[in-house]
Amino acid sequence: MPSAAGGLPPLPDSYLRSQDFMRSSNVSITAALESSTKSPQRDHFLEAIHALELANQQGSPCSHKLYSPLLQWSIDWRIARLGRELHCSIVKRKAECDAILATYIIRMYAACSNLDDADKVFNSLSNPDVYMWSAIILAHTNAGQGSKAIELYRSMLQRQGLRPDAHMFVAVLKACAATAASREGKLVHAHTIESSVELVLHVGNTLIDMYVRCGCLEDAHMVFEKMPKRDVVTWNVLIAGYSCNGHDDKAFELCQKMQEESIVPDNVTFLSLVGAANARSIGNFCCENHEPDSISQKLEYALMLFNKLPNRSLAAWSAMIGMYSEHGDQAKAFCLYLDLLQRGLKPDIVTFVCALKACSDLDMAKCIHFHIIESGYQLDRQIQNCLIATYGQCGSLEDARMLFDAMHNRCVVTWSSMISAYAQYGRDQESLELFGRMLHGGVKPNHVTYFYAMRSCTNMTALILSLLVYAHVVDTGWDSHMQVKNTAIDMFAKCGSLADACSVFQGMPQRSVVTWSTIISAYVQHSENELSLECFNGMVQEGIKPNSVTYVCLLSACYHLGLVNQGSHHLYTMQTIYGIKPTPEHRNCLVELFGRAGQLKEAADLLQGMPEESAVVAWTSLLNQCKAHGNAYIAEQCFDSIANDGPKSCVRQVIQCKSMRLINPILLGRIGE
How many Cβ atoms sit within 10 Å of the Cβ of residue 420?
23
Q: What is the pLDDT of residues 67-86, one digit of tens each?
A: 888 888 889 888 888 889 88
Interatomic CA distance for residues 175 and 177, integer angstroms: 5
In this structure, which amino acid lies at residue 403? L
Interatomic CA distance for residues 597 and 556, integer angstroms: 14
Percentage of residues in the chain with pLDDT exceeding 90? 62
For the segment 198-202, the average pLDDT, to the nearest whole number, is: 96
Q: Is the pLDDT of residue 357 over 70?
A: yes
Model pLDDT, residue 540? 94
For the segment 30-51, the average pLDDT, to the nearest whole number, is: 54
Judge whether 18 and 54 are in contact, CB under 8 Å: no
Model pLDDT, residue 44? 60
Model pLDDT, residue 46? 62
For the segment 210-232, the average pLDDT, to the nearest whole number, is: 97
How many Cβ atoms sit within 10 Å of the Cβ of residue 422?
23
Model pLDDT, residue 9? 34
In this structure, which amino acid lies at residue 605? D
> At 17, is the pLDDT very low, low, confident or very high (cuts 50, 70, 90)?
very low
CA angle at 458 for the pair 456 and 459, rounded to the nearest 5°:
65
CA angle at 322 for the pair 320 and 326, rounded to the nearest 5°:
125
Model pLDDT, residue 643? 74
Q: What is the pLDDT of residues 505-545, one digit of tens each?
A: 999 999 999 999 999 999 999 999 999 999 999 999 999 99
> At 393, is the pLDDT very low, low, confident or very high (cuts 50, 70, 90)?
very high
Model pLDDT, residue 47? 65
CA angle at 22 for the pair 18 and 23, rounded to the nearest 5°:
120
CA angle at 324 for the pair 322 and 330, rounded to the nearest 5°:
100
| Candidate ranges 85-94, 100-109, 584-593, 614-623; pick with highest mean pLDDT | 100-109
Question: Can you tell me whether residue 41 is helix, strand or coil?
Answer: coil
> At 614, is the pLDDT very low, low, confident or very high (cuts 50, 70, 90)?
low
Mean residue pLDDT of the chain comes to 85
Percentage of residues in the chain with pLDDT exceeding 70? 84
Q: Taking the C-alpha atoms of 210, 212, 215 and 219 in order, what is their torsion angle to the nearest 10 degrees? A: 80
Q: What is the pLDDT of residues 419-442, one digit of tens each?
A: 999 999 999 999 999 999 999 999
What percentage of the chain's residues is helix, strand, coil (to nearest 5)? 75, 0, 25
Model pLDDT, residue 15? 39
Q: Among 524, 585, 573, 579, which Cα is nearest to 549's?
A: 585
> At 609, is the pLDDT very low, low, confident or very high (cuts 50, 70, 90)?
low
